[in-house]
Every structure is written in structure tokens, then in C-alpha cells.
């Protein structure tokens, strides 16, 4: 296990110089930028018009998605959207930890160490990066319920032959 952790630490040192956020989001490109002439109210009005003409509920769903993801505000004007915000990066890291734990049946600590190494998670040391990811996962509201349920299921008494 120590050899495995040493290899992960070497990988972490190598990867922490790179940009870890690119694993969760694609980098904004000039081709992917919103055109300066596109206005939120025009987009929403066009979606409403298409909904009325085609009677297709998906256009209404598109408007709801724009509002729910805070892409447009109350007046349907575009809001500033930071695709690489800390919250999205942390949520993506938590989702990745959950995926690694579920698929490979690793412990939480080992899954966090593996992810910290591959992402080059920013911290002063590899141990600190691992601990930060572990705490982030344990405290994230989306994953907190999963951990509590898992701990409850592990604490239930399982009858053994020694109980007889």
C-alpha cells in the first residue's frame, strides 16, 4: 500500500502543475463564446414563439432549463456564468469520487488519494490534497446522505455463529 501511495504522490506532483479543472469542463474557446449580438430576451421570445407554433413542449423545457441553471435572469437577460466556478469543480470532484468508490469498491480515502493524484489537486502536500477531497466529499450536501446511509447499513448487527 505504501508503494501505491508513493506512486500516487509522484503522479500528484507531476499533475499539480497542470490545470485540473479541464477534466470537468471543456476550456472556453473563441468558437464556443456566446455571440455579442445574442440577447437573452430575444432567445426566450423565440423559444416561446416556436412553442406556440409547433406545440412542442421541449421549447418550454428549454426556457425552464435556462432559468433553473441561472443562464437568464428575471428579465430574461443573460447572467454572468462562470463555467469553471469553484462550486462546479467541487461538485465534479465529489461526483468523480462517488463514481470511483462505486465502480471499483475502493475505500473513500483511497478513492480520494487516487483522484488527488490524477487531478493534481491543489494543496501544499499530497496528504493535504487527499484529506481536502475526503472532507469535501463528506461535507458536500449532495453526497452527505449517501455516506450517512452507508454508515447506518454498516452499523447494523449481522448475526454470526458466535451469537448462538
Average pLDDT rounded to a whole number, residues 3-30: 65
Burial class (CB in 10 A: 0-12, 13-18, 19+), 94: buried
Output phi, psi for 120, to 5 deg: 70, 45
pLDDT confidence of residue 155:
46
What pLDDT digit, counting tens, does each position of 104-158 carry? Answer: 888 889 999 988 888 888 888 889 989 999 998 888 777 655 544 444 444 445 5
Kindly report, residue by residue over 18-64, the tens digit of the pLDDT.
Answer: 555 445 444 445 455 667 788 889 999 999 999 999 999 999 999 98
Tell me the CA distances in angstroms from 18 to 12, 47, 121, one per residue in order.
Answer: 10, 40, 10
What pLDDT score does 162 carry? 52
What global pTM score does this model have? 0.46
Q: How far apart are CA 95 and CA 146, in angstroms?
A: 12
Region 80-92 average pLDDT: 68
Report how far residue 112's alpha carbon sits from residue 110's, in angstroms, rounded to the nearest whole number: 5
Give CA 72 to chain center in angstroms. Answer: 22
pLDDT of residue 42: 92
Judge whether residue 6 has pLDDT over 60.
yes
Distance in angstroms (rounded) separating the CA atoms of residues 66 and 26:
20
In the predicted structure, residue 12 carries a pLDDT above the cut 70: yes
CA distance 115 to 137: 12
CA distance 94 to 132: 11
pLDDT for res 148: 45
Which whole number is the average pLDDT over 92-114?
A: 87
**Sequence ranges of the domains in the chain:** 2-20+84-155, 39-77
> Which pLDDT score is estimated for 17?
63
Q: What is the pLDDT of residue 55?
A: 92
Amino acid at each position: 500500500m505504501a508503494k501505491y501511495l508513493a506512486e500516487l504522490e509522484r503522479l500528484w506532483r507531476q499533475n499539480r502543475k497542470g490545470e485540473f479543472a479541464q477534466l470537468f469542463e471543456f476550456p472556453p474557446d473563441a468558437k464556443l463564446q456566446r455571440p455579442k449580438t445574442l440577447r437573452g430576451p430575444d432567445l426566450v421570445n423565440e423559444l416561446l414563439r416556436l412553442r406556440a407554433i409547433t406545440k412542442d413542449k421541449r421549447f418550454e423545457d428549454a426556457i425552464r432549463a435556462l432559468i433553473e441553471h441561472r443562464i437568464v435572469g428575471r428579465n430574461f437577460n443573460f447572467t454572468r456564468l462562470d463555467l469553471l466556478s469553484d462550486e462546479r469543480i467541487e461538485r465534479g470532484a465529489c461526483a468523480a469520487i462517488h463514481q470511483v468508490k462505486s465502480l471499483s469498491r475502493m475505500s473513500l480515502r483511497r478513492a480520494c488519494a487516487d483522484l488527488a493524484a490524477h487531478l493534481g489537486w491543489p494543496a501544499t502536500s499530497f496528504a493535504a490534497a487527499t484529506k481536502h477531497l475526503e472532507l469535501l466529499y463528506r461535507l458536500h450536501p449532495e453526497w452527505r446522505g449517501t455516506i450517512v446511509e452507508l454508515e447506518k447499513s454498516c452499523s447494523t448487527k449481522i448475526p454470526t455463529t458466535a451469537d448462538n
